[in-house]
Amino acid sequence: MAKDELSARMERIVSLCKRRGFIFQSSEIYGGINGFWDYGPMGVELKRNLKDFWWRRNVQEREDVVGMDGSIIMNRAVWRASGHEETFSDPMVDCKVCKTRHRADLLPERDGAKYCAHCGSAHLTEPRDFNLMFKSHAGPIESDENLVYLRPETAQAMFVQFRNILDTSRQKLPFGIAQIGKAFRNEINPRNYTFRSREFEQMEIEYFCRAEDGLRLTDYWLEERLKFYEDIGIPRPKIHIKDIPAADRAFYSKRTYDLEYEFPFGVSELEGIAYRTDYDLSRHIEHSGKPLEYHDEVAKEKFVPHVVEPSAGVDRTALALICEAYDEEEIAGEGGGSETRTVLHFHPRMAPVKCGIFPLLKNKPALVACARDIAARLRPHMTVFYDEAGAIGRRYRRQDEIGTPFCVTVDFDTIGENGPEKAETVTLRHRDAMSQERIPIADLRERLLAAIH
Ligand code: ATP
């Protein structure tokens, strides 16, 4: 697709997200706030499905990974030890002509020279470091002693609690700690919709191991993570694996893979998988003076474990899911011509609503009662949407736009008006093929649960 077409496609995706309650600008009625977003009724379900499935795959279905939920604000000493206070910065430049501010490493280049992405001028200031951590104060006094940061990543809590978790979980190496939570970065230029925000969520694993297993386990996690993306509906060919060369890696990392997705605005990072050696635990041993070593009782050895870190963004993955699912199809219209169907082809396990439930007509109490009864019986097991307004075709279209994989219609056959053999059966309509089949009400729950698990 050409660049113009891709940006038009992105605009239509953004507009659908607002129209159908996926994503709104934060504080919109006051003009918004750059880099912050709210998720509406559909968006929150999508994110929840994503986080729940990540947790299930990486924590609940594994013997060797345990979870935790750390605080957002931690002792400032954590960020000194981790190096964030000193070095978690991006190079910032100002355009001398239009006075806009930019991240120097993301500026476009012409004949080897960077230029302003806003006005095109090459008159830029020298880059200077801008620390991305948001500051606040804990307690009523705004002094340097009370200075705290909003965490810019969830990872540090897992290093800082390594000893407590090791002592209480009875894990042996190799094992991991996983966490999902908010992170904050005062990005110089929030952009590309939710892709680069100032408040976002991360899903991170710190997988601790022996030094000799580090490189092998980095490749193991790369494969696990690719499988995960496939299982939520992002096919492998859409993920680009970037093996980061030594010169571009953090100095302590022996291997780093970036997983990138083909967003309409360009191929961009979804997740980083970094083999961080023993850097993090060693720094915390040094700064806290506490013993964070691992004791191997059998081999009678004591050492600092190495760590492999798969670190993914919830918001970036949710945006990738929406971009991947979005489609505009030409289909036969009701009046004979053709019409465009906007549809989100979400994997059923990610879809915000699993099943739409419709009575054929809203003025027939027996149809309405039966449809409401089916909705009530499915609701404890999945998100359903009851809708009686408008023609059935219009109701299908509304569900297509939010990516509902199944719709059930209750008609006169269901309530036994056309003979006993079709009674207690409904039409089950499939979103992608737009095909319909007749199935007994009694089979609905099992059929749908098997597809959305
Ligand atoms: P980038 O180079 O895009 O700034 P990064 O390499 O600094 O990202 P990491 O520090 O590796 O990102 O963070 C891990 C993950 O957290 C990223 O892969 C991404 O999914 C998510 N993430 C990081 N920064 C942001 C942000 N500003 N907005 C949304 N998600 C983010």
State the distance from the centre of ligand 1 to the C-alpha of 161, rounded, in angstroms.
23
Please tell me the distance from the alpha carbon of residue 446 to that of residue 329, in angstroms, as a whole number. Answer: 30
Ligand 1 pocket mutation pick from 269, 270, 280 by most atoms within 8 angstroms of CB:
269
pLDDT for res 2: 84
pLDDT for res 335: 76
Give mean pLDDT, residues 27-33.
98
State the distance from the centre of ligand 1 to the C-alpha of 310, rounded, in angstroms.
12
DSSP 125: P
Protein residue whose Cα sits closest to atom 12 of ligand 1? 272
393-417: per-residue pLDDT in tens? 999 999 999 999 999 999 999 999 9
Q: Six-digit token pair at 429? A: 């309509």
Q: 332-347: string of b/e by CB count within 10 Å (b at 16+)?
A: eeeeeeeeebbbbbbb
State the distance from the centre of ligand 1 to the C-alpha of 267, rounded, in angstroms.
14
pLDDT for res 436: 97
- The answer to whether residue 3 scores a pLDDT higher than 90 is no
Please tell me the distance from the alpha carbon of residue 347 to that of residue 396, in angstroms, as a whole number. Answer: 17
pLDDT for res 130: 92
State the distance from the centre of ligand 1 to the C-alpha of 313, rounded, in angstroms.
7
Report which ligand 1 atom has the smallest distance to the Cα of 90.
4
State the distance from the centre of ligand 1 to the C-alpha of 407, rounded, in angstroms.
37
pLDDT for res 63: 97
State the distance from the centre of ligand 1 to the C-alpha of 350, rounded, in angstroms.
22
Alpha helices (runs of H) in 82-189, residue ranges in sequence order: 84-87, 155-160, 162-169
342-396: per-residue pLDDT in tens? 999 999 999 999 999 999 999 999 999 999 999 999 999 999 999 999 999 999 9
State the distance from the centre of ligand 1 to the C-alpha of 311, rounded, in angstroms.
8
Query: Dmax of the chain from CA atoms?
Result: 82
Report which ligand 1 atom has the smallest distance to the Cα of 197.
28
Report which ligand 1 atom has the smallest distance to the Cα of 190.
27
Residues with CB under 6 A from ligand 1: 153, 185, 187, 196-197, 200, 202, 269-272, 311-313, 315-316
pLDDT for res 330: 94
pLDDT for res 253: 97
- The answer to whether residue 153 scores a pLDDT higher than 80 is yes
Protein residue whose Cα sits closest to atom 19 of ligand 1? 313
Within 10 A of 219 (CB to CB), how many other CB atoms are there? Answer: 14
Q: Are 158 and 179 in contact (CB under 8 A)?
A: yes
Report which ligand 1 atom has the smallest distance to the Cα of 311.
14
Please tell me the distance from the alpha carbon of residue 82 to that of residue 94, in angstroms, as a whole number. Answer: 29
Report which ligand 1 atom has the smallest distance to the Cα of 317.
20
pLDDT for res 36: 98
> CB pairs under 8 A, 24+ apart, for 369-375?
370/410, 370/414, 370/415, 371/408, 371/410, 374/408, 374/410, 374/426, 374/441, 374/444
Report which ligand 1 atom has the smallest distance to the Cα of 200.
29
267-304: per-residue pLDDT in tens? 999 999 999 999 999 999 999 999 999 999 999 999 99
Protein residue whose Cα sits closest to atom 11 of ligand 1? 272
Which residues on neighbouring strands pair with residue 377, listed in sequence order?
none
Cite the beta strand spans of 15-61 per DSSP E. Answer: 23-25, 37-39
State the distance from the centre of ligand 1 to the C-alpha of 254, rounded, in angstroms.
20
Per the prediction, the chain carries an average pLDDT of 96
